[in-house]
Amino acid sequence: MQMTLRWYGSKYDTVTLEQIRQIPGVHNVITTLYGKQAGELWTQEEIHALKQEVEAAGLGIAGIESVNVHEDIKLGLPSRDQYIDNYIKTLENLGKEDIHMVCYNFMPVFDWTRTELARKRPDGSTVLAYTQEAVDALVPEEMFSSISGDMNGTVMPGWEPERLAHVKELFEKYKGVTEEDLWTNLKYFLERIMPVCNQYDIKMAIHPDDPAWSVFGLPRIITCKENLLRMMDMVDDVHNGVTLCTGSLGTNLENDLPDIIRSLKGRIHFAHVRNLKFHSPTNFEEAAHLSSDGSFDMYEIVKALYDIGFDGPIRPDHGRMIWGEKAMPGYGLYDRALGATYINGLWEAIEKNDLRSRNK
Ligand code: DNO
């Protein structure tokens, strides 16, 4: 595996490349052209400039998170083809710049959903949290205003004001769109982009739905092992793969994370590692990465990744806000650096144990 940190670009991130470079074992970032709207073309010049900036700081780009998919593609509207053409051209330009992993999601309207961005934990840190009760008490248009006060002045991924201005209209368009429609539209999209992915060896890594169930009655399909395997079979190409996100799939306690990891051998192209602390199955908060601080067994998760020979980029996911830092919720420097170091430690121990037992 290759340890990375997500970086939103110098215009948007409170964390600098210079800081990232000092985290032990982090030599690459996962980044994006954050200002781009879904469906817009990324030119080779723009990608090249981003790459030069990262390289000038002594780091590399291990992949893109995200190239967002236009809603018309998810909706299967006739206008989707022009947006898919742009997507293909963007992938081609990324390939020409030697970038080979792209994370994306296929969630209608909302990307990830949390109902609190700064829930206080007993140690005084603040974290993102979710309760189903809070979602059920809101109409979707209120979602943004209910949490925007805690964004620390940042633009959060998936919650860009331009996108959310259209929430009501989007909900109208999704009326009557079923899960099966979403499957069909995802298949169409993947089949169209696979040739360019093969040509430039670009591994597509779909991000699971977060939380792993329908919110506000919208269809959601990337939620569990069965559906992930259906997706892998539906377009059976190694370039059609997964971002294994423990914090998203793990929202559903019925998902057995190490088992899902093992079942996706060869198709996990990116990993997000995060821990959650459950108070009930529908009330949880994000915790420190350490197993004992949350509800997941991080050793078993990292061991499963090791056992399947995972060699792609991995990143610590949402960190707590600690030590007085003011940053994009989930994306401060300090707790993610602690997370990277912890995951590196687990990996080193697992690897050394394995090598020793083989040499016995
Ligand atoms: C949240 C992230 C998601 C993820 C997208 C991928 O913090 O994990 O926004 O980047 O779903 O497209």
Stretch 192-216: mean pLDDT: 97
Residue 111 near ligand 1, beta carbon < 6 Å = yes
> pLDDT value at position 300?
98
Place 168 in a pLDDT band, splitting at 50, 70 and 90: confident
Measured from the Cα of 6, ligand 1's closest atom is 10
Question: Which of 210, 222, 269, 276 is the best mutation target for the ligand 1 pocket, counting ligand atoms within 8 Å of the beta carbon and taking the most?
Answer: 210
Stretch 142-167: mean pLDDT: 82
Residue 82 has pLDDT above 90, yes or no: yes
Residue 164 has pLDDT above 80, yes or no: no
> pLDDT value at position 3?
98
Give the C-alpha separation, 296 to 63, whole Å: 26
Nearest Cα residue to 6 out of 276, 330, 263: 330
Distance 249 CA to ligand 1 centre (A): 12
Query: What DSSP state is assigned to residue 209?
Result: P
SS3 of 95, please?
Answer: helix
Nearest Cα residue to 205 out of 97, 310, 75: 310
> pLDDT value at position 160?
78
Measured from the Cα of 210, ligand 1's closest atom is 11
Place 303 in a pLDDT band, splitting at 50, 70 and 90: very high
Q: Is 48 a catalytic residue?
A: no
Give the C-alpha separation, 327 to 341, whole Å: 20
Distance 308 CA to ligand 1 centre (A): 24
Number of helices (H), then strands (E), in the chain:
14, 12
Residue 353 has pLDDT above 80, yes or no: yes
CB 225 within 8 A of CB 263: yes
> pLDDT value at position 143?
81
Give the C-alpha separation, 182 to 213, whole Å: 14
Alpha helices in 98-160 (DSSP H): 132-136, 143-147
Q: Which helix (H) or strand (E) holds 345?
A: helix 334-359
Find residue 153's DSSP bridge partners.
none
Lowest mean pLDDT among 122-131, 138-147, 231-240, 296-305: 138-147
